[in-house]
Amino acid sequence: MGTFSAALFSDDTACDVRDQFTQLLSNGASAADATQSLIQSWAAATSDTDDGPVFWLALAATQWKFGCLPDEIRARAIDVIERDLDLHKWQGAALKRRRAVLASLKEKLLSQQPVPRRPPRRQAIVVPSTKLVSPDRRALATASELAKSGHPTGPQMQVFVEMTASGSRGGVFVADCEFTEVSLKWLDPETLQISYPLSAVVSDQKSSLFYYGRTIRIAYETRAV
Protein backbone atom coordinates (compact mmCIF):
# COMPACT_ATOMS: atom_id res chain seq x y z
CA MET A 1 0.00 0.00 0.00
CA GLY A 2 1.27 3.48 -0.85
CA THR A 3 1.08 6.74 1.05
CA PHE A 4 1.73 9.83 -1.05
CA SER A 5 1.24 12.78 1.30
CA ALA A 6 -0.22 13.73 4.69
CA ALA A 7 -3.70 14.23 3.20
CA LEU A 8 -6.21 11.62 4.40
CA PHE A 9 -6.97 10.18 0.97
CA SER A 10 -3.40 10.33 -0.34
CA ASP A 11 -3.17 6.72 0.80
CA ASP A 12 -4.14 3.50 -0.99
CA THR A 13 -5.89 2.00 2.04
CA ALA A 14 -7.95 5.14 2.65
CA CYS A 15 -8.94 5.31 -1.03
CA ASP A 16 -9.92 1.64 -1.11
CA VAL A 17 -12.11 2.01 2.01
CA ARG A 18 -13.76 5.15 0.64
CA ASP A 19 -14.36 3.63 -2.80
CA GLN A 20 -15.73 0.33 -1.49
CA PHE A 21 -18.16 2.00 0.92
CA THR A 22 -19.30 4.45 -1.75
CA GLN A 23 -19.80 1.63 -4.26
CA LEU A 24 -21.91 -0.37 -1.81
CA LEU A 25 -24.12 2.65 -1.13
CA SER A 26 -24.50 3.43 -4.83
CA ASN A 27 -25.53 -0.19 -5.46
CA GLY A 28 -28.39 0.12 -2.97
CA ALA A 29 -26.92 -1.28 0.26
CA SER A 30 -28.01 0.39 3.49
CA ALA A 31 -25.35 2.34 5.37
CA ALA A 32 -25.47 -0.24 8.18
CA ASP A 33 -25.03 -3.18 5.80
CA ALA A 34 -22.24 -1.41 3.90
CA THR A 35 -20.45 -0.70 7.19
CA GLN A 36 -20.74 -4.29 8.35
CA SER A 37 -19.50 -5.56 4.99
CA LEU A 38 -16.37 -3.41 5.17
CA ILE A 39 -15.63 -4.30 8.79
CA GLN A 40 -15.83 -7.99 7.90
CA SER A 41 -13.76 -7.79 4.71
CA TRP A 42 -11.11 -5.57 6.35
CA ALA A 43 -10.97 -7.55 9.60
CA ALA A 44 -7.30 -8.48 9.18
CA ALA A 45 -6.30 -4.94 8.23
CA THR A 46 -7.99 -3.32 11.23
CA SER A 47 -5.55 -5.08 13.57
CA ASP A 48 -2.56 -3.76 11.62
CA THR A 49 -0.78 -0.80 13.25
CA ASP A 50 -0.42 1.00 9.90
CA ASP A 51 -3.64 0.20 8.05
CA GLY A 52 -5.98 -0.16 11.05
CA PRO A 53 -6.04 3.53 12.06
CA VAL A 54 -6.36 4.62 8.42
CA PHE A 55 -9.34 2.28 7.95
CA TRP A 56 -11.33 3.91 10.77
CA LEU A 57 -10.39 7.44 9.72
CA ALA A 58 -11.32 6.88 6.07
CA LEU A 59 -14.55 5.07 6.90
CA ALA A 60 -15.68 7.80 9.31
CA ALA A 61 -14.80 10.59 6.87
CA THR A 62 -16.69 8.88 4.04
CA GLN A 63 -19.75 8.15 6.18
CA TRP A 64 -19.87 11.77 7.40
CA LYS A 65 -19.81 12.96 3.78
CA PHE A 66 -22.93 10.92 3.01
CA GLY A 67 -24.66 11.80 6.30
CA CYS A 68 -24.60 8.28 7.71
CA LEU A 69 -21.80 8.30 10.30
CA PRO A 70 -22.89 6.22 13.33
CA ASP A 71 -21.72 7.03 16.85
CA GLU A 72 -19.58 3.91 17.18
CA ILE A 73 -17.55 4.61 14.03
CA ARG A 74 -17.16 8.26 14.99
CA ALA A 75 -15.85 7.12 18.39
CA ARG A 76 -13.36 4.77 16.74
CA ALA A 77 -11.99 7.52 14.52
CA ILE A 78 -11.82 10.08 17.35
CA ASP A 79 -9.96 7.52 19.47
CA VAL A 80 -7.38 7.07 16.68
CA ILE A 81 -6.87 10.83 16.54
CA GLU A 82 -6.76 11.51 20.28
CA ARG A 83 -4.38 8.63 21.00
CA ASP A 84 -2.07 9.51 18.07
CA LEU A 85 -2.41 5.97 16.72
CA ASP A 86 -1.83 7.15 13.14
CA LEU A 87 1.21 9.37 13.73
CA HIS A 88 4.03 6.85 14.16
CA LYS A 89 4.62 6.77 10.38
CA TRP A 90 5.24 10.51 10.14
CA GLN A 91 8.25 12.69 10.89
CA GLY A 92 9.29 16.34 10.64
CA ALA A 93 7.17 18.64 8.49
CA ALA A 94 5.00 15.73 7.32
CA LEU A 95 4.10 14.94 10.95
CA LYS A 96 3.01 18.54 11.48
CA ARG A 97 0.85 18.42 8.35
CA ARG A 98 -0.70 15.11 9.35
CA ARG A 99 -1.57 16.48 12.80
CA ALA A 100 -3.32 19.40 11.12
CA VAL A 101 -5.21 17.05 8.78
CA LEU A 102 -6.42 14.93 11.70
CA ALA A 103 -7.34 17.96 13.82
CA SER A 104 -9.49 19.22 10.95
CA LEU A 105 -11.03 15.78 10.52
CA LYS A 106 -11.88 15.56 14.22
CA GLU A 107 -13.60 18.94 14.05
CA LYS A 108 -15.62 17.77 11.04
CA LEU A 109 -16.62 14.46 12.61
CA LEU A 110 -17.91 16.26 15.71
CA SER A 111 -19.95 18.73 13.64
CA GLN A 112 -23.45 18.23 12.31
CA GLN A 113 -23.53 15.81 9.40
CA PRO A 114 -24.98 16.67 5.98
CA VAL A 115 -28.42 15.39 5.07
CA PRO A 116 -28.18 11.64 4.32
CA ARG A 117 -27.79 10.91 0.62
CA ARG A 118 -26.68 8.18 -1.74
CA PRO A 119 -23.89 8.58 -4.28
CA PRO A 120 -25.02 8.22 -7.90
CA ARG A 121 -24.76 4.73 -9.33
CA ARG A 122 -21.48 4.39 -11.19
CA GLN A 123 -21.55 3.26 -14.77
CA ALA A 124 -19.38 0.21 -15.18
CA ILE A 125 -16.39 0.69 -17.48
CA VAL A 126 -15.47 -2.55 -19.19
CA VAL A 127 -11.73 -2.93 -19.70
CA PRO A 128 -10.65 -5.87 -21.89
CA SER A 129 -8.95 -8.40 -19.63
CA THR A 130 -8.39 -12.03 -18.69
CA LYS A 131 -8.78 -13.20 -15.10
CA LEU A 132 -7.63 -16.25 -13.16
CA VAL A 133 -8.59 -17.02 -9.56
CA SER A 134 -6.07 -18.75 -7.27
CA PRO A 135 -6.62 -22.40 -6.26
CA ASP A 136 -7.77 -21.33 -2.76
CA ARG A 137 -9.94 -18.56 -4.27
CA ARG A 138 -8.32 -15.96 -2.02
CA ALA A 139 -6.64 -14.06 -4.83
CA LEU A 140 -7.50 -13.04 -8.37
CA ALA A 141 -4.90 -12.34 -11.06
CA THR A 142 -5.90 -10.10 -13.96
CA ALA A 143 -4.10 -9.23 -17.20
CA SER A 144 -5.72 -6.16 -18.71
CA GLU A 145 -5.37 -3.62 -21.46
CA LEU A 146 -3.92 -0.17 -20.76
CA ALA A 147 -4.66 3.02 -22.65
CA LYS A 148 -2.55 3.08 -25.79
CA SER A 149 0.65 5.09 -25.55
CA GLY A 150 1.95 7.27 -28.37
CA HIS A 151 5.44 5.93 -27.72
CA PRO A 152 6.34 2.86 -29.82
CA THR A 153 7.45 0.93 -26.74
CA GLY A 154 4.95 2.46 -24.31
CA PRO A 155 3.18 0.02 -21.94
CA GLN A 156 0.05 -1.57 -23.39
CA MET A 157 -0.91 -4.04 -20.67
CA GLN A 158 -0.63 -4.74 -16.95
CA VAL A 159 -1.07 -7.63 -14.53
CA PHE A 160 -2.40 -7.01 -11.04
CA VAL A 161 -3.35 -9.28 -8.16
CA GLU A 162 -6.46 -8.62 -6.07
CA MET A 163 -7.22 -10.12 -2.64
CA THR A 164 -10.83 -11.28 -2.92
CA ALA A 165 -11.74 -10.71 0.75
CA SER A 166 -10.79 -7.02 0.95
CA GLY A 167 -10.75 -5.97 -2.69
CA SER A 168 -7.23 -4.60 -2.20
CA ARG A 169 -4.96 -5.03 -5.17
CA GLY A 170 -1.51 -4.21 -6.49
CA GLY A 171 0.21 -4.19 -9.86
CA VAL A 172 3.01 -6.68 -10.48
CA PHE A 173 3.79 -6.50 -14.22
CA VAL A 174 3.62 -3.86 -16.98
CA ALA A 175 4.79 -4.40 -20.58
CA ASP A 176 4.38 -3.13 -24.13
CA CYS A 177 2.74 -6.25 -25.56
CA GLU A 178 -0.97 -6.99 -25.95
CA PHE A 179 -2.64 -8.39 -22.82
CA THR A 180 -3.73 -11.40 -24.87
CA GLU A 181 -0.07 -12.30 -25.41
CA VAL A 182 0.46 -12.74 -21.65
CA SER A 183 -0.50 -15.99 -19.97
CA LEU A 184 -1.35 -16.41 -16.27
CA LYS A 185 -1.01 -19.66 -14.32
CA TRP A 186 -1.25 -20.33 -10.58
CA LEU A 187 1.49 -22.83 -9.72
CA ASP A 188 0.07 -23.04 -6.19
CA PRO A 189 -2.09 -20.76 -3.97
CA GLU A 190 0.91 -18.55 -3.22
CA THR A 191 2.69 -18.48 -6.62
CA LEU A 192 1.53 -16.84 -9.84
CA GLN A 193 3.39 -17.53 -13.09
CA ILE A 194 3.36 -14.85 -15.77
CA SER A 195 4.42 -15.89 -19.26
CA TYR A 196 5.14 -13.15 -21.81
CA PRO A 197 6.79 -12.71 -25.24
CA LEU A 198 10.59 -12.48 -25.25
CA SER A 199 10.30 -9.41 -27.49
CA ALA A 200 8.18 -7.43 -25.00
CA VAL A 201 9.69 -4.33 -23.38
CA VAL A 202 8.96 -4.67 -19.65
CA SER A 203 8.32 -1.50 -17.63
CA ASP A 204 7.67 -3.11 -14.23
CA GLN A 205 8.30 -6.63 -12.97
CA LYS A 206 7.79 -7.37 -9.27
CA SER A 207 8.98 -10.61 -7.69
CA SER A 208 6.30 -10.68 -4.99
CA LEU A 209 3.30 -8.90 -3.54
CA PHE A 210 2.60 -8.64 0.20
CA TYR A 211 -0.87 -8.12 1.69
CA TYR A 212 -1.74 -8.36 5.38
CA GLY A 213 0.58 -11.22 6.24
CA ARG A 214 0.24 -13.05 2.93
CA THR A 215 2.92 -13.03 0.23
CA ILE A 216 2.13 -13.84 -3.40
CA ARG A 217 5.29 -14.86 -5.26
CA ILE A 218 5.56 -14.03 -8.95
CA ALA A 219 7.40 -16.38 -11.32
CA TYR A 220 8.19 -15.25 -14.85
CA GLU A 221 8.58 -17.18 -18.07
CA THR A 222 9.53 -15.76 -21.47
CA ARG A 223 8.68 -17.40 -24.77
CA ALA A 224 9.38 -16.80 -28.43
CA VAL A 225 6.37 -15.59 -30.40
Give the model's pLDDT for residue 121: 77
Please report which confidence band the pLDDT of residue 78 belongs to, taking 50, 70 and 90 as the band edges: very high
Give the model's pLDDT for residue 187: 97
Do residues 17 and 104 both lie within one domain?
Answer: yes
Contact (Cβ atoms closer than 8 angstroms) between residue 64 and residue 47: no
Domain containing 137 equals 129-223
Do residues 21 and 104 both lie within one domain?
Answer: yes
- State the DSSP H helix or E strand holding residue 64, giving kind and residue range, or none if neither: helix 51-65
Taking 80 as the threshold, does the pLDDT of residue 206 lie above it? yes
Which is higher by pLDDT, 175 or 12? 175
Specify if 3 maps to a domain: no
Contact (Cβ atoms closer than 8 angstroms) between residue 216 and residue 188: no
Count of beta carbons in the 10 Å neighbourhood of residue 131: 11
Do residues 134 and 192 both lie within one domain?
Answer: yes
Tell me the residue type at 121.
R
Q: Give pLDDT tens digits for 90-147.
A: 899 989 999 999 999 999 999 999 999 998 876 666 678 899 999 998 899 999 988 6
Give the model's pLDDT for residue 1: 43
Contact (Cβ atoms closer than 8 angstroms) between residue 172 and residue 121: no
* Model confidence, pTM: 0.59
| Residue 132 CB partners (closer than 8 Å, separation 6+) | 140, 141, 142, 184, 185, 186
Percent of all residues in the chain with a pLDDT value above 90, rounded to a whole number: 59
Q: Give pLDDT tens digits for 21-35.
A: 998 999 899 999 999
Specify if 116 maps to a domain: no
Do residues 56 and 103 both lie within one domain?
Answer: yes
Contact (Cβ atoms closer than 8 angstroms) between residue 148 and residue 193: no
